[in-house]
Structure 1
Amino acid sequence: MREENRNLIVAIVLSVAVLIGWQYFFAAPEAERQRVAQQQSTQVNPAAPNQPPSPSQAGGPSAPVPGTVPSAPAVPVVESREAALARSPRVAIDTPAIAGSINLRGGRIDDVALRRYRETVDPKSPNIVLFSPSGSQNPYYADFGWVGTQAGPLPGPDTVWTADRTSLTPSSPVTLTWDNGQGLVFRRSISVDDKSMFTVKNAVENRGSGPVTLHPYGLVSRHGKPTTLGYYVLHEGMIGVLGDQGLQEYTYANLDKEEAALGQNTVGKAWDGVTGGFLGITDKYWAAAVIPDQAQAYQGSFTARQDQNGQVYQANMLGSPQTLQPGSTTETTQRLFAGAKEVAVVDGYQDTLNIKNFDLLIDWGWFYFITKPLFKVLDFFYRMFGNFGVAILLVTVVLKLIFFPLANKSYASMAKMKAVQPEMASIRERFADDKMKQQQALMELYKKEKINPVAGCWPVLIQIPVFFALYKVLFVTIEMRHAPFFGWIRDLAAPDPTSVFNLFGLIPYNPGAVPVIGPFLMLGIWPIIMGVTMWLQMKMNPEPPDPVQKQVFAWMPVIFTFMLGSFPAGLVIYWAWNNLLSVSQQAFIMKRNGVKIELWDNLRSTFARKSPAKG
């Protein structure tokens, strides 16, 4: 086998290996897993029951020492979410974005459902549930308060607060009050905007006879290890920007491994004396994050601990000590983000509240400088036309226009390469036994004809980062979730739901449920369209004289069709549309350079070979 043929085959094999790896690690492996994963990600905290930490003293909860946040063993009580909510007095939360309640037993925000988002594309499906109370199947909540020593009883998970109203709305904040009976009066004012941000002001009045030192804290706690999607392209777990430490991300598995390695019940990562930023827990589309006062130093930490019912994961913020003299009052302000990671909302909070790098709550990835601007352009066209699918088509045209000069040079060079194919073949024949002279002669020909032999790679190299950036945007941005196109595409972030292997739904079975090969059987209409456009693009070029090369190129569209079958529909639509634009552009440049367009001859030749011979 000639060296150039061997190199080509190696390159094709490596490309296929990359696609298989991408399919295995990033693309949805099968339709059933897509359904289950979506349901799990929307419910955000699979079952791992827990009960609120119990007080260790009859007079009230024990006071943790400074440097820690409240935690205590739990008792194994599991109830339905409705029963757990009904067990405590509550203040209703009623906003355009959020429905839920504040638990007056503990003063926790532990009941949050998102009004604008549902579990499936069915408008009658249940709303997304973000927070659930302790004692339910899915405990997940935010808590704020004070810790300290020698201060008497401090508010804890069993403290029953008194509220000044029965509901919290954007126009009516709620104030909770509790007197510890030993000289300290605690007030917690909670307000909420019309999106996803709570503001929590904790005040303490010292009516006693001596000074008291307290530390403010805020935390987001998730009981039980949730089932994550498990894609390397997406971070799920602990997240934060802690002052100058920058973005910090830890998966649940990271903390579990550390716990197993150290053999300790409680482990974690901590950063002392940081200022600005946020810390919390993120899922694919939803997040809960504590936002400290951006001007005050604090200690931030991610912790995991084992209790009677499983793991408990927390993102904690512990403020600097504050000393209250008799007759004085102190107050701290913290915020809680609890909701969908909408780009405009998250960016808006970063700008208006000056939250350091809050936009990194959305996992834009390493190619932030490509993915976020790409989303901005997509969102611009979406707001203009009201359809993200149309926006993808228009962005593809814009990208083609931006890279038009470079692509023109590339296609022009390819056209010149085709024009000198006979001369190149002659050189290879003359120097078939002398590779060095063959290469020298070819290089002289390239120089004479002003041909760049690698110019044809540029369109592909340009397309790769755009392809991955668009995949990232489709995968992580909630704006793409359940965004319809036309016809049967009701969710651009999900694979084409049709399949040729069940006659596009006429046969009542799910090909994706077939073990091992199921993902490759989810071959919908749009992947087939993409494969056809790729095949047409290859037919634009002369068929390789080498039979091995010819077979490799013949199978490439088929391989890519099956590989992209389970990719998000929006990405497949982009690829197909990009192929059509590339065919048109290449045909125009070839015609302008006087090079024969091989498409029609190649198509006639292909179909002639497949037709039965006439006797």
Structure 2
Amino acid sequence: MESQRTFLFIGLLLVSYLLFQEWNTAYNQPKIDTSATTQVTTPTSTPVSDDVPASSQDDVPVAQTKAIRSTVSVKTDVLDVKIDTKGGDIVEAKLLQHAETHGSEEPYLLLGEFENKQYIAQSGLIGLNGPDASRDGRPVYESTQSAYTLEGDELRVPLTFVDSKGIVYTKTYVFKAGKYDVALEYDVNNTSADPIQVQLYTQVKRTVQNKGSMVDQTYLGAAYGTNEEPYEKYSFDDMSEANLNKNTQGGYIAFIQHYFVSAWVPNQTVNSTIYTLLRNGQGIIGVKNEPVNVAANSSSTMNATYYMGPKDSDALEAIQEDLDLTVDYGWLFFISQPLFVLLKLIYGVVGNWGIAIIAITILVKTALYPLTKAQYTSMAKMRMLQPKMQALKERYGDDRQKFGQATMELYRKEKVNPMGGCLPLLLQMPIFLALFYVFLESTELRHAEFMLWLTDLSAKDPYYVLPILFGASMFLTQKLQPMTVTDPMQQKMMTYMPLVFTFFFIIFPFPSGLVLYWLVSNLITIAQMLYIYRGMEKKGLKVR
């Protein structure tokens, strides 16, 4: 296994991955019938609107009082939110600590109406007496203020609705300083002479969107967790094929995008049903709690938590033990997570994400040095056997059986393992891919500056300096390690590999932080190669 073949192997992996992503984007999109309505099929239940899920019981019309619909504004140190009094939904959320684009003063719009698309968080009460189950439409709440501003550690925003029977429904959002998670408290004060039954639901609705091209974003779609399945994706395509209907205690639901997530976390002690709906180009994932009976002249409170913000592993795990899995590092998460923790620790010391990337690359390459040494030592020995291998070919001609036997005997005699160069590479690949996802998925790298022209490590190098330097480092590697393959086609492929990779990194928007890692990793590999070869040459072995 030659160094050039190592690059070719990595390149084929990357190209295969990206081509699969592009194929999936072009040919595997959700098939949506906007003329039909899809709903969760619950026995003897009927949905009352496109937004409201079916109840666990027959829906009974609830007479409503009329109120004027309006919007309530809420501003904290990290959130700027708008709540629609119809239904009490969060219809807009801006993240004040995250810019819309690099260098922009406009905060990032996570929820809202943009580019003819909708992304909102909804909640309400259905069931036998739930106001959201009414045939008259969802309730319109009243608020004592049209705008709220957080001034202390906590801000409570109550919305009140009173039906014709005098039953008081109070929906309160609780915001806290520095927090992206908002508590929802639903108080039901049954002032009537009859018992009632309600059922809390919380959901996120988003216009169906196709995933972006190539590597410009990671997974875009829904996800959920149950007490048996900590993290499962449920894409728009999945919704178009079948509605989700999962029973669990606790759990969560979420919509995931690159760097950000919104998620509803129900009361973890309550039995719930996780569901999806797909209607008129809108995808919904939500949670229905079990029905709650409220006796006459008594009250009851139901609660949930809504998170709308960056993919902060620590903050997400603090809300629900599995919610941090929405920071999707792929199937190698068990490697990526500790690597990210290490990256953050380094950043805490150096205070620069670019330097932290360089430092973690040095640490990883140093830890893998024994494998690297085994790889290059094996390759060097294989090269030194080339004259003897050629002699065996000339001696046995087309007799493959005798040539194979003689070759194995030569390996045994010279104590060379033909797989010695391949196995170390295969052992290093999981770490390489794990770091790939760390740099691609970590919110901390979004708009993070390094130095000079590199002002955003999550964006491509604007002047293509890093890709060109990477191509040059590959070219230098080839010069230091002469090509031994004899096939003309393979020789041409190896010769043009630096140009192919340089062009590859230029045309595709790889984050500059990721290219920085590859460049530094390559430079360290060159240094290690020279050191290993020098040591072998001191022992009298000619390796170059």
Please give the TM-score of this superposition, normalised by the length of structure 1: 0.74
Cα distance, 1:547–1:89 mapped onto 2, change above 3 Å: closer
Query: Residue 525 of structure 1 corresponds to which residue in structure 2?
Result: 465
Tell me, what secondary structure is at the counterpart of 2:452? coil
- Show structure 1 runs of 5+ residues with no match: 29-47, 49-60, 71-86, 259-266, 499-523, 599-615
Query: Residue 117 of structure 1 corresponds to which residue in structure 2?
Result: 98
Letter in 2 for 1:388: W
* Map 1:34-49 → 2, pairs under 5 A: none
Give the Cα–Cα distance (whole angstroms) in 2 for the partners of residues 538 and 62 of structure 1. Answer: 60
| 8 Å CA contact retained: 2:172, 2:185 | yes
Tell me, what secondary structure is at the counterpart of 2:374? helix
Among residues 137, 154, 173, which one is paired with 1:190 in the alignment? 173
Give the Cα–Cα distance (whole angstroms) in 2 for the partners of residues 593 and 586 of structure 1. Answer: 11
Letter in 1 for 2:390: A
Residue 333 of structure 2 is aligned to residue 344 of structure 1: no
Shift of 1:213: 1.2
Deviation per residue, 1:266-295 (Å, 9 max, x gap): x621113x1122112222222221110001
Query: Residue 441 of structure 2 corresponds to which residue in structure 1?
Result: 476
Residue 15 of structure 2 is aligned to residue 24 of structure 1: no
* Map 1:480-559 → 2, pairs under 5 A: 480-498=445-463, 524-544=464-484, 546=486, 548=488, 549-559=490-500
Give the Cα–Cα distance (whole angstroms) in 2 for the partners of residues 27 and 288 of structure 1. Answer: 26
Cα distance, 1:339–1:150 mapped onto 2, change above 3 Å: closer
Query: Residue 357 of structure 2 corresponds to which residue in structure 1?
Result: 392
Q: How many equivalent pairs are there?
A: 499
Cα distance, 1:420–1:138 mapped onto 2, change above 3 Å: closer
* Map 1:449-464 → 2, pairs under 5 A: 449-464=414-429
Cα distance, 1:448–1:579 mapped onto 2, change above 3 Å: same
Give the Cα–Cα distance (whole angstroms) in 1 for the partners of residues 321 and 370 of structure 2. Answer: 39
Query: Residue 407 of structure 2 corresponds to which residue in structure 1?
Result: 442
Tell me, what secondary structure is at the counterpart of 1:268? coil
Query: Residue 322 of structure 1 corresponds to which residue in structure 2?
Result: 292
Query: Residue 303 of structure 1 corresponds to which residue in structure 2?
Result: 277
Give the Cα–Cα distance (whole angstroms) in 1 for the partners of residues 85 and 485 of structure 2. Answer: 79
Query: Residue 244 of structure 1 corresponds to which residue in structure 2?
Result: 228
| 8 Å CA contact retained: 2:130, 2:199 | no
Residue 107 of structure 2 is aligned to residue 127 of structure 1: yes
Residue 83 of structure 2 is aligned to residue 102 of structure 1: yes
Cα distance, 1:551–1:23 mapped onto 2, change above 3 Å: same
Shift of 1:69: 12
Tell me, what secondary structure is at the counterpart of 1:329? strand
Give the Cα–Cα distance (whole angstroms) in 2 for the partners of residues 152 and 119 of structure 1. Answer: 37
Query: Residue 173 of structure 1 corresponds to which residue in structure 2?
Result: 156
Among residues 498, 513, 519, which one is paired with 1:570 in the alignment? 513
Cα distance, 1:432–1:136 mapped onto 2, change above 3 Å: closer
| 8 Å CA contact retained: 2:198, 2:292 | yes
- Show structure 2 runs of 5+ residues with no match: 24-33, 35-49, 60-67
Among residues 271, 289, 293, which one is paired with 2:246 in the alignment? 271
Residue 331 of structure 2 is aligned to residue 331 of structure 1: no
Tell which deviates more after alignment, 582-591 or 159-168. 159-168
Give the Cα–Cα distance (whole angstroms) in 1 for the partners of residues 485 and 374 of structure 2. Answer: 26
Deviation per residue, 1:244-265 (Å, 9 max, x gap): 2442322223323x2xxxxxxx
Among residues 241, 256, 265, which one is paired with 1:282 in the alignment? 256
| 8 Å CA contact retained: 1:278, 1:290 | yes
Give the Cα–Cα distance (whole angstroms) in 2 for the partners of residues 280 and 69 of structure 1. Answer: 28
Cα distance, 1:581–1:559 mapped onto 2, change above 3 Å: same
Shift of 1:25: 4.3
| 8 Å CA contact retained: 2:231, 2:326 | no
Letter in 1 for 2:112: S
Tell which deviates more after alignment, 422-431 or 94-103. 422-431
Tell me, what secondary structure is at the counterpart of 1:139? strand
Tell me, what secondary structure is at the counterpart of 2:284? strand
Among residues 132, 145, 168, which one is paired with 2:124 in the alignment? 145
Shift of 1:119: 2.2
Shift of 1:466: 2.6
Give the Cα–Cα distance (whole angstroms) in 2 for the partners of residues 226 and 342 of structure 1. Answer: 24
| 8 Å CA contact retained: 1:65, 1:149 | no
Tell me, what secondary structure is at the counterpart of 2:505? helix
Deviation per residue, 1:563-591 (Å, 9 max, x gap): 23323222222222222211221221222
Tell me, what secondary structure is at the counterpart of 1:140? strand
Tell me, what secondary structure is at the counterpart of 1:451? coil
Cα distance, 1:405–1:27 mapped onto 2, change above 3 Å: farther
Tell me, what secondary structure is at the counterpart of 1:359? helix
Give the Cα–Cα distance (whole angstroms) in 2 for the partners of residues 90 and 63 of structure 1. Answer: 20
Shift of 1:123: 3.4
Deviation per residue, 1:404-446 (Å, 9 max, x gap): 2222223223333344443333333333343333332222222
Cα distance, 1:62–1:280 mapped onto 2, change above 3 Å: closer
Cα distance, 1:466–1:174 mapped onto 2, change above 3 Å: same
Give the Cα–Cα distance (whole angstroms) in 1 for the partners of residues 51 and 457 of structure 2. Answer: 51
Tell me, what secondary structure is at the counterpart of 1:210? coil
Among residues 329, 338, 356, which one is paired with 1:364 in the alignment? 329
Cα distance, 1:236–1:147 mapped onto 2, change above 3 Å: same
Letter in 1 for 2:533: M
Tell which deviates more after alignment, 189-198 or 411-420. 411-420
Letter in 2 for 1:323: N
Residue 528 of structure 2 is aligned to residue 585 of structure 1: yes
Residue 202 of structure 2 is aligned to residue 218 of structure 1: yes
Among residues 232, 238, 241, which one is paired with 1:254 in the alignment? 238
Shift of 1:184: 0.9
Query: Residue 57 of structure 1 corresponds to which residue in structure 2?
Result: none
Query: Residue 32 of structure 1 corresponds to which residue in structure 2?
Result: none
Tell which deviates more after alignment, 143-152 or 153-162. 153-162
| 8 Å CA contact retained: 1:130, 1:339 | yes
Deviation per residue, 1:153-207 (Å, 9 max, x gap): 8786451323378415342212222221303111222111222100011011111
Letter in 2 for 1:269: L
Tell me, what secondary structure is at the counterpart of 1:190? strand
Cα distance, 1:431–1:405 mapped onto 2, change above 3 Å: same
What's the Cα RMSD here?
A: 3.4
Cα distance, 1:147–1:241 mapped onto 2, change above 3 Å: same
Shift of 1:297: 0.3
Shift of 1:553: 2.4
